[in-house]
Amino acid sequence: MYFILFGGGHETFLLDPNMEKMVSVYVKDKDRKSEIDKLIKQVEKSEGDFQKKIKKVYDKKLVELNMNHASTPADFTREYDSFYVDLTELLNGYLTSELKVRSLIHPNEWDSIMNKAIKQPDEMKARKSMLQQNQKLQDELILACNKYISDPTSRAKANVIIGDYEIKGDNLMEAFLEMNFHYLKALRPYKVTRADFEPIRSKMIELRKNYSAYIVEMRFKLMALTPEKNWKDLSKELNNCFAYLGAGD
Q: Per the structure, how many domains does the chain have?
A: 1
pLDDT of residue 6: 34
- At 36-58, the pLDDT tens digits run 999 999 999 999 999 899 888 88
Smallest CA-to-CA distance from 53 within 16, 89, 18 is with 89
Residue 89 in domain: yes
pLDDT of residue 243: 56
Quick one: three-class SS letters along 18-35? HHHHHHHHHCCCHHHHHH
**Which domain does 201 fall in, by range?**
2-238
Report residue 246's pLDDT band, with 50, 70 and 90 as the boundaries: very low
**Listed range (8-22, 35-49, 210-224) with the worst mean pLDDT:** 8-22
68, pLDDT greater than 60:
yes
- At 179-188, the pLDDT tens digits run 777 777 888 8
83 alpha carbon, distance to own chain's centre: 12
Residue 214 burial by Cβ neighbours in a 10 Å radius (0-12, 13-18, 19+): middle
4, pLDDT greater than 60:
no
- At 146-174, the pLDDT tens digits run 999 999 999 999 999 998 887 887 888 78
In single-letter form, the type of residue at position 188 comes to R
96 alpha carbon, distance to own chain's centre: 20
pLDDT of residue 9: 47
DSSP 8-state symbol, 121: P
Residue 153 in domain: yes
Residue 246 in domain: no
Residue 183 in domain: yes
Residue 245 in domain: no
216 alpha carbon, distance to own chain's centre: 17
Backbone angles phi, psi at 134, to 5 degrees: -65, -40
**Listed range (6-10, 63-67, 74-78, 97-101) with the worst mean pLDDT:** 6-10
pLDDT of residue 23: 92
pLDDT of residue 247: 35
Residue 166 in domain: yes
pLDDT of residue 177: 79
Whole-number average pLDDT of the chain: 85
Stretch (H or E) spanning 93:
helix 73-104
- Cβ atoms of 219 and 66 within 8 Å: the answer is yes
Over the Cα atoms of the chain, what is R_g?
21
In single-letter form, the type of residue at position 13 comes to F
Report residue 121's pLDDT band, with 50, 70 and 90 as the boundaries: low
pLDDT of residue 222: 96
- Cβ atoms of 76 and 216 within 8 Å: the answer is yes
Residue 53 in domain: yes
133, pLDDT greater than 50:
yes
The residues, ordered by sequence, that sit 6+ positions from 46 with a Cβ below 8 Å of its Cβ are: 90, 93, 94
Smallest CA-to-CA distance from 180 within 205, 200, 207 is with 200
Rounded average pLDDT over 116-135: 74
Report residue 118's pLDDT band, with 50, 70 and 90 as the boundaries: low
What stretches of 105-151 show up as alpha helix (H) in DSSP? 107-117, 123-148
pTM value is 0.84
- Cβ atoms of 25 and 109 within 8 Å: the answer is no
DSSP 8-state symbol, 184: H
Backbone angles phi, psi at 171, to 5 degrees: -65, -40
39 sits in the region (left: phi over 0; alpha: psi -120 to 50; else beta) called: alpha
pLDDT of residue 152: 95
Residue 82 in domain: yes
